[in-house]
Amino acid sequence: MSTLLSLVASPCFAQTTTTTHTISVPSGVSQASVVDGTTVNIYAGWANAASNCSTATSSSLCDTCVGGADVPCNHGSIHPQSVLQIDVSSTTANINGLPIQLSTEAGSVQLVSGVVSTVATSTGYTLQIPWTLLCANGLSNGTTKLGSTCGEDGTAGTPPFFLTQSLYFGPVSAGAFVEKITLTINLSVFSSTSSTYTECPNGATGSEGGAACYFKMFGGDEKVYVDIFEPSWNLDSPAMTIGSGTAPVKSVTFFSQESPNAGADAATIAAITNSSDSFELPVSKGEDPLSDNRLNGFENGTRYCFKMTTVDVTGNIQRFTPIPPAVASDLCAEAADVIGILSDKNCFIATAAFGSSLNRHVQRFREFRNQFMATSEWGKKFIDLYYEYGPEAAASIKKNETLRSMARGMLWPLLGFVEISLHYGLAWGIFSLVMTLLVLRKLFQIFKFRLIKRSN
C-alpha cells in the first residue's frame, strides 16, 4: 500500500525560507493514510492478528478474515512482524547526519525507543519502527502503555478499543527537533472471538453503539438490494463505540453464501463466515446512510443469504448479524429477471419526493410492495405500469422543490394506508384509504362551495 502526497509547509521554527516536504507512507498501515501539512494520519487495525500472521513479513500486512463465523477481522491487519515506515524528503538546511528520533511530546524530545537507526541526509530522512515497539514504548490507552502485543493480550485493558494519539518525529540536534512531523496514530484493536449486534428494527437507533443493526434484502436482475437498512449511528456523524473510544464508520460489509432454498436460509446464514464472498458499501453522512443499496454480480435464479457487519476507519470488521436472526428469510433474496427495484436508486416517485431511497417512509412503501403487490397478479400489473411511467415523473419531481412538496403532500394519505395495511392487514388499509378519500372529497366540496358563494 502506498500513499504519496506533496505539500509545502512553513517550518516548525522561524526561518527565512520555505521548507518543501514530500511525505510517503509505503507500508505498515491498514488503510490509506492522509497527509495534511506536516501531520500524517495513520489508520491501523489489529484484529486477531496472532491468529494466522506468524508467517507474515515486515513488509506485508495480514488478512485475518480466515473463516471465523462472527470473528472480528481485517483484510490488512498489522501484526507482530509489521513495521511502520514513513519517508520524508526535505529541503530543510543543516539536517545532514542528524539522528532521527520519535517523541511523545512536541517540545523537548521524550524518546520512544525502537526506531531503526537512521540519520538524515541532505535530502531527507526515514522513520522506521516495528509496531510492537511503537505500542510498547509510545502508544497508551491514556494510562497504560499498550505493550508489545498492542494491547491484544489485555495488558492495557480488555479489547476491543480504539485510540487516537499524536507522536512526533524528525531530525534532532542538541536535544531539540530541527523540524518535526506530527504522527497521529488511529489504532483499533480486537482480540475477541465473537462480535455481534442486537437487531434494532423500526428506527431503534442509539441502542447498538453506532453499528449497523438491521437489514432486509430484495432480489433484482443479477443484483440483490439492501431493501431496508437501519444504523444506530448519528446520521450526520457515523461513528461507533469501541471500548472507551469512538471510531468513525467507514463502510458496511455484507458476507454472502448461496442458499439451496428458503427452507435452508437459517442454516445458510449460520454457515457464513468472515472469509465468505463479501460486498462493501461505503457509508454516507446525512439521511441516506449508505452510498448505494445495490450488491452486483449475482446469478439469476440463485438464492443468496447475507450477514452484515460494520467496518471502522481502520478496516476492522466487527458487529456481525446474530445467529439465529429474527427472520432468516428477510436476510436472503433470489436474483432474478423479475419485477424489482430499478437500477437507479433515485427513480421512484416516493424516493424523489422524500429525497432518499433509504428514507424510512420510502422503506415502508417498499415493504408494502413486497408483502402485498409483488405477490399478486393485480399488484404485478400495477408495478409494471408504475415502472413504465414512474421514472419520467420521478425525474421531474426530483429537480423541482415545489413538485417535491406537492408529491409529499399527495403521498401522506397513501403512507397512512400503507402503515395500516402493514400493521392490521390490507382490508383495514383499504377501508382507511376509502374513508380518507371520502373526507378529502367532502372537504373539497365545502371549499368549492365557499369559493362559489364568495364569487357571487
> Into how many domains does the chain fold?
3
Is residue 330 domain-shared with residue 409, that is, in the same domain? no
Question: CA 309, 82, 173: angle at the middle one, nearest 5?
Answer: 125
Domain end among 130, 164, 190: 190
Is residue 158 domain-shared with residue 25, that is, in the same domain? yes
Residue 380 φ then ψ, to 5°:
-65, -40
Domain end among 190, 218, 241: 190
pLDDT at 5 over 50: no
Between 438 and 6, the more confident residue is 438
Q: Which candidate, 342, 283, 281, 273, places its Cα nearest to that of 306?
A: 273
**Beta strand pairing status for 39-47 and 124-130?**
unpaired
Is residue 31 domain-shared with residue 175, that is, in the same domain? yes
Is residue 420 domain-shared with residue 294, that is, in the same domain? no
What is the pLDDT, as a whole number, of residue 364? Answer: 72
Q: What is the pTM of this model?
A: 0.73
pLDDT at 239 over 80: yes
Cβ burial 93-113 (10 Å sphere, 16+ → b, else e): eebeebebbbbbeeeebeebe
Give the C-alpha distances (Å, rounded to integers) separating 338 from 50, 286, 335, 379, 401.
46, 31, 8, 13, 32
What is the pLDDT, as a whole number, of residue 202? Answer: 67
**Residue range 399-427, pLDDT digits in tens:** 667 776 776 667 777 777 777 877 777 77
What is the pLDDT, as a whole number, of residue 6? Answer: 30
Domain end among 311, 338, 365: 338
Is residue 223 domain-shared with residue 318, that is, in the same domain? yes
Q: How far apart are CA 22 and CA 38, in angstroms?
A: 10
Q: What is the dihedral of CA 370, 375, 381, 383, to 10 degrees?
A: 0
Is residue 355 domain-shared with residue 398, that is, in the same domain? yes
Residues 6+ positions from 353 with CB-CB distance below 8 Å: 397, 404, 407, 408, 411
Is residue 146 domain-shared with residue 37, that is, in the same domain? yes
Burial of 370 (0-12, 13-18, 19+ CB in 10 A): middle
Q: Quote the mean pLDDT of the chain.
A: 80
Between 35 and 64, the more confident residue is 64
Between 450 and 156, the more confident residue is 450
Q: What is the mean pLDDT of residues 180-186?
A: 93
pLDDT at 381 over 60: yes
**Residue range 23-61, pLDDT digits in tens:** 876 578 888 888 887 889 999 999 988 777 888 888 889
Question: How would residue 346 be classed by pLDDT, with cut points 50, 70 and 90?
Answer: very low
Q: Give the position of cell 512553513.
A: 10
What is the pLDDT, as a whole number, of residue 451? Answer: 62
Is residue 351 domain-shared with residue 291, that is, in the same domain? no
Q: Which of 117-126, 297-306, 371-380 has the lowest mean pLDDT?
A: 371-380
- Highest mean pLDDT (candidates 10-19, 184-193, 251-260): 251-260
Instruction: List the domain range (segments joined by +) for residue 414.
Output: 341-456
Is residue 106 domain-shared with residue 27, that is, in the same domain? yes
Is residue 143 domain-shared with residue 182, that is, in the same domain? yes
pLDDT at 17 over 50: no
CATH code, domain with 262: 2.60.40.10
E-strand stretches of 174-289: 176-177, 181-190, 212-220, 223-231, 239-242, 245-259, 277-282
Is residue 26 domain-shared with residue 52, that is, in the same domain? yes
Is residue 437 domain-shared with residue 310, that is, in the same domain? no
DSSP element (H, E) containing 125? strand 124-130
